Structure formats: C-alpha cells, structure tokens
Chains A and B, each alone.
Chain A
Amino acid sequence: MMIMPLLEVKNLVKYFPIRKGLTGKVIGYIKAVDGVSFKINENEVLGLVGESGSGKTTIARCILLLYRPTKGDIIFEGRSVLTLRGNLLRWYRTRVQAVFQNPFLSLNPMMKVKDIIAEPLKTHRKDLNKEEIYRMVYDIMEKVTLPKDLADRYPYDLSGGQAQRVAIARALILKPRLLILDEPTSALDVSVQAQILNLLDDLKKEFRLSYLIISHDLSVVRYISDKIAVMYLGKIVEMADSEELFEKPLHPYTQALISAVPEPDPDFFKSRKRIKLPGEIPSALNPPPGCRLHPRCPLKVDERCKVQEPPLIEVEKGHYVACWKYYRR
C-alpha cells in the first residue's frame, strides 16, 4: 500500500526574470530552481543541503507561498496549494509553518514575546478568549523551554537561543503538520545550536511533526534529518537516507561538500582526503550546459557530461544520483 506523502513537490521550477531599462524588457532569467521533485512523509525530516546559490531557500519560499513558482506543483495532504484561496488558504497557513535564520530579524522588535507567540491564535482561532489564548501561550513556552518571565520582554532583551525558541513557539502554537526550517541555527553559537537542535528533535516526536530543514551545514543536517537531498545550481544531484548519504556519497559534488567540512579534530585533517572542486559556483543566469558540475568536476568528464543533463536515477533502493558515472541502461 502506498502511503500518501504529507508534502510533495513536483518538478518545481522558479526563474527570476532580469529586466533592463525603462520598459522593463526581460533580458534573461536567473534559474534559481530548475526542476526539483521530492516528497516528505508524515513524521519525517528531509534535509536540503547546498551552498549559496543552489536554490534551496527559493524552494522553501515557494512552499511557503512567498514566491509563485514558474512551473510545477506543490501538493500538501493531497491538495495542490498553489491555487488555494480563502478558507482553504487559511487552512494551509495553519498546517505549514516556518522558522527563519536570524531570530532577531524574524521577530517584530516592537512586540512583546507573549504577543508574538499569541498572534497566530488571534488570527486563526477567533473562538478563543484572551485568557485561553495566553494559557496556550504559556503552555507552548514551557514546551520550548522558555522561562515564563520572558513573556513580557521584547526580542532585543533575549539571547539568540531564546529568540529562536520564541520563533519556534510561534510556529508551533497552531499545531502545524510541517515546519520549514530555513537555516534555523546558522545565526547561533555552537553551544546554543546544540540546544535548538535537541529541542527540534524532541518537538518532532512530541507533536508528530515533519520538517524540511534547509542548511549549508552538513553536520547540522545530518544530526536531524532522515533523508537528505543535496542541491547544486537549482538541481538535486543526490538524495538518500541520511546514514547512507554520509557513508556512501556517490555524487562527486556530495563527496567534495562532505570533505570540505572542518572538524574540530587535529587527526581528522591528517587522515582526510579532500576532494577539491576548482573555482566557484557559476552564475545561475547561465548555468553550464549538460551536467552543471562538469566544468568543476573532479572525475573524468566526457562528451556526454558536457552536452546532456544527467537524470536523477535510483541506483540503489532509496538512493538517487544525477551523474552519468552511475547511469546504466
């Protein structure tokens, strides 16, 4: 029996037009996301990893309906979300929530902590009175381990970790099914990052949540994800279960990415063999033809790599790679 995925992203494409002059003539497109598909099941965590310019944040913004996709579909609990209006749109807003990178920028500096957390309830639960709302606020504050006495403070009085927990509390108070976590710990210190990651892991179990976690930091993603998709220039190049991906990375880009992470262990650098990619990520305005990695690929590049784009194929059960090296008819 097939289980229906919670969220399905189908062949998502997002191009940003580049306009020039007074007439606003379109002179080209930034191909931020170029045909990406994946599924997230209930109570599952998908990690989306890539460097800047890979398109991972654009995907998140499409799912959150902050951008309109150029092509493709986003299906949540069996419904296409791109055409939702009125009550159904409000329903979607209560089911899918987000936590952003910098907690100090994602909280309105003019509002008290308790009002920030209460705001979603005030919007979507008109049936509740003030007392009930604030009781729920204090409940969720306890769940995310925020001390009660912070309720009357303003965001700038908080530490980074506390502010991020306020953002998590705000996202959770409507009891959503899916949380989009866009670099949730990159603005935090290491010791605080560990706290937030643990908390997210606990909350996932307690509320039966699914996460889409977006990060440039492989070790963070590894810590929390069940599945991981690696992106390069608007495409998924490899997708597999978390353990599998780190033990047996197949795509040369994944290998390079993993080998570039500095670990706080002196022996690590002596033993590791870094797979080097020359140069930098090219502009998404004119991505290279064929395989997008081919100008930087550490493997032997043949004619096919330069001309034809490799499809994302399942080479082992649940392990997908887009590289001609693994392609067999």
Chain B
Amino acid sequence: MMVSSEVKLMMKLLIKNKVSFAGFIIVLTFIFVGILAPFITPYPADARGWVFHMNQRLLPPSWKHPFGTDEFGRDMLSRVILGSRYSLIISVSVIGLALLIGVPIGLVAGYLGGKVGSALMRIADMFLAFPPLLLAVAMAATLGRGLRNVIISLAISWWPWYTRLMYVQTNSIKTMPYIDAAKVLGLRTPTILFKHILPNAITPVMVQAALDMGSAILEAAGLSFLGVGVKPPTPEWGLLVTEGWASINRAWWISLFPGLAILITVLGFNLMADGLREITDPRLRRLLISRGGRI
C-alpha cells in the first residue's frame, strides 16, 4: 500500500536537512540502545536494581563508573542504558495505543458526520477538556503504580488528540473526487474508509505521533516524579531523576545523567518530527519534486 519510492524520497529529503537528520540519528541510537540494553550494560545486576553495594555509594563519575553511582552504590551508566528500554517501551506503547483508539474513531466520526459523528467528537472533547497531564496523573493514581498502568493512563489522556486530527483530515479527504468515484463504484464503506481515506489522511497524524513519542517519555518521567509512575527500582529515567533529587547537593550526577538522556531523546524526536513535517508539506514538495520531468 505505502509507496516504496515515496519512502525513498522521504529519506532523501530527510538526509538533505542536516538538523532533522541529526534528530533522526538520535532517535535511531535511542531505539538501538533500547533494544540492545540488556546486553550492553556494564553491570546488568546494577541496572535491574536488585543489588546494593554499600561500599561504593555515591561515587562521582570515574572511568569505572562514567555516570557515577547512586545511593545504593549501583552503576548509573547501566541504569540509564537499561532505562532507555523502559522509555522506548512506554513511548511506543502509549503512542501505539493512542493511535489505535484515536485514529479509527476520528476516521469514522469524520466520514459519517451528522449526529453519530458529533456524538463521537463530543466524547473526545470531554477528554480534551482536562489538562492532559492532570488526567494522566488522576488515572495513574487510581490504577496504582506500575509500568502497565503508566501506559494505560497516558494512552487514555492521549488518544483524543489523534481523533481530532484524524477527524479534520477525514473531513477534507472525503470530499475528494476519488472518494466520489469509490462510492460510484459501489465499494463498501469499510473499504472506502481504510483503503481510500486512511492512507491519504494519515500523514500529518504520523508526523504528530513522531513528535509525541518524545513527549510520552517526558510525561512518563513526570508521572514518576509525582510518585504515580513506575515502581522502584525500575530504572525508568524519570524515576532515576527523582531518586537523585534527594541527594542533589551531594551527588549531582545521579539526576543529571538520566535528565540529559531525557533531554537529548526528546530533542531528537522533536528535530526529526520537524523535518518530517517539512517533507510532508505539499506546498514544499511541489517545489522539490517534478513529475517525471514535467512541471
């Protein structure tokens, strides 16, 4: 369905823009480290957090422990590396789940319009009425701490944004002549929705999703910081920052390195998404791409 030449072209455009390419490299590194984390941590047991080394508490960064150690003597580098895996799991699951709920609802609401469409959109609006983090905090507090609950809480506060975006997109795509043509051909509504509207409407949603991957990491960290996130000693970055908070005067490195990891990763997603947005802007593309040599 998706055009391979289209993908090639997007890569070409992405590489052309230095800044967004840097973002792309950061994101790739993040994903890579996240997948390989259990195998590349110098001290796997420290990373998981179930050991104490009382003789090496709060060591500043050194060759042996480049990111220093924490209150229980665990190697911070290992914890930050493994933390990338949790951040990856959280961002992919939250955004994936939000897309899975939000996109079909927006698509159906936009296509049907009328009373059903408005009813669906009013439901989405109810969620949008709360500040997103507040809603997530409330949810997480109700469900209790833990990775799964963090994902559920964030996804629930997230999906209506995709519903909105998809709704607007669908509304404009559904008036295109190729949708009229599909109706005249007697295609069934699900075919029209998923084969003709969805692929043509999804691009801005995907750009937004790429941007949101960074925000999801940030919000998960926020939940941890507020004490309603993952359970300790899970080395989730937000929790690592929080754990270092108490001893920030004596051991700045505990909070600093996970904080930097969050900063750089979120920045990477933002830069990449900015590039993607530019690439997918039809006005800009018209200038860069000729149609088989015609103008």
> Which residues of A does B touch, CB under 8 Å?
61, 64-66, 89-90, 93-94, 96-98, 100-102, 105-111, 119-120, 123-124, 154, 156-157, 159, 167, 170
A94 partner residues in chain B, CB cutoff 8 A: 186
B294 and chain A: residue at smallest CB distance:
A159
Q: How far is the CA of A166 from the CA of B292 in the complex (A)?
A: 18
Q: Is the interface of B mostly helix, strand, loop or mixed?
A: helix
Q: Is the CB of B177 within 8 A of A105?
A: yes
> Which residues of B does A touch, CB under 8 Å?
1-3, 5, 176-178, 180-188, 191, 195-196, 199-200, 291-292, 294
A159 partner residues in chain B, CB cutoff 8 A: 294
With beta carbons under 8 angstroms apart, the residue of A93, A105, A110 that contacts B184 is A93
Q: In angstroms, how far is the closest chain A Cβ from the Cβ of B281?
A: 16
Q: Is the CB of A167 within 8 A of B181?
A: yes
The answer to whether residues A66 and B196 also contact, given A93-B185, A159-B294 and a CB cut-off of 8 A, is no
Q: How far is the CA of A266 from the CA of B3 in the complex (A)?
A: 50
The answer to whether residues A110 and B191 also contact, given A66-B183, A120-B185, A123-B186 and a CB cut-off of 8 A, is no
Q: Contacts A90-B186, A110-B1 given; 9 further ones with Cβ under 8 A? A: A61-B180, A66-B180, A108-B195, A108-B196, A108-B200, A110-B2, A123-B186, A123-B187, A157-B291
- The residue among A96, A107, A110, A154 with the most chain B CB atoms within 10 A of its own CB is A110
B179 and chain A: residue at smallest CB distance:
A108
Q: Is the CB of B185 within 8 A of A119?
A: yes
B3 partner residues in chain A, CB cutoff 8 A: 110, 154
The answer to whether residues A106 and B186 also contact, given A156-B291, A159-B294 and a CB cut-off of 8 A, is no
Q: How far is the CA of A144 from the CA of B30 in the complex (A)?
A: 52
A-B contact pairs, 12 of them (CB 8 A): A64-B180, A66-B183, A93-B186, A97-B185, A100-B181, A101-B177, A102-B177, A105-B177, A105-B178, A108-B196, A108-B199, A157-B292
B185 partner residues in chain A, CB cutoff 8 A: 93, 97, 119-120, 123, 170
Q: In angstroms, how far is the closest chain A Cβ from the Cβ of B175?
A: 10
B5 partner residues in chain A, CB cutoff 8 A: 154
B291 and chain A: residue at smallest CB distance:
A156
Q: How far is the CA of A299 from the CA of B200 in the complex (A)?
A: 52
The answer to whether residues A106 and B180 also contact, given A154-B3, A159-B294 and a CB cut-off of 8 A, is yes
Q: Is the CB of A123 within 8 A of B181?
A: no
Q: In angstroms, how far is the closest chain A Cβ from the Cβ of B122?
A: 14
B202 and chain A: residue at smallest CB distance:
A110
B196 partner residues in chain A, CB cutoff 8 A: 108
Q: In angstroms, how far is the closest chain A Cβ from the Cβ of B111?
A: 14
B177 partner residues in chain A, CB cutoff 8 A: 100-102, 105-106
Top 4 nearest A-B pairs by Cβ distance? A93-B186, A106-B177, A110-B199, A105-B177
B196 and chain A: residue at smallest CB distance:
A108
Q: In angstroms, how far is the closest chain B Cβ from the Cβ of A119?
A: 7
Q: How far is the CA of A283 from the CA of B178 in the complex (A)?
A: 29
With beta carbons under 8 angstroms apart, the residue of B184, B188, B199 that contacts A66 is B184
Q: Is the CB of A107 within 8 A of B178?
A: yes
A170 partner residues in chain B, CB cutoff 8 A: 181, 185
Q: In angstroms, how far is the closest chain B Cβ from the Cβ of A118?
A: 11
Q: How far is the CA of A111 from the CA of B200 in the complex (A)?
A: 10
Q: How far is the CA of A93 from the CA of B182 in the complex (A)?
A: 11
With beta carbons under 8 angstroms apart, the residue of A61, A105, A156 that contacts B176 is A105
Q: How far is the CA of A47 from the CA of B180 in the complex (A)?
A: 21
Q: How far is the CA of A159 from the CA of B294 in the complex (A)?
A: 9
Q: How far is the CA of A96 from the CA of B191 in the complex (A)?
A: 20
Q: Is the CB of A98 within 8 A of B184?
A: yes
Q: Is the CB of A124 within 8 A of B180?
A: no
Q: How far is the CA of A322 from the CA of B255 in the complex (A)?
A: 86
B294 partner residues in chain A, CB cutoff 8 A: 159
B187 partner residues in chain A, CB cutoff 8 A: 119, 123
Q: Is the CB of B178 within 8 A of A108?
A: yes
B1 partner residues in chain A, CB cutoff 8 A: 110
A119 and chain B: residue at smallest CB distance:
B185
A153 and chain B: residue at smallest CB distance:
B292
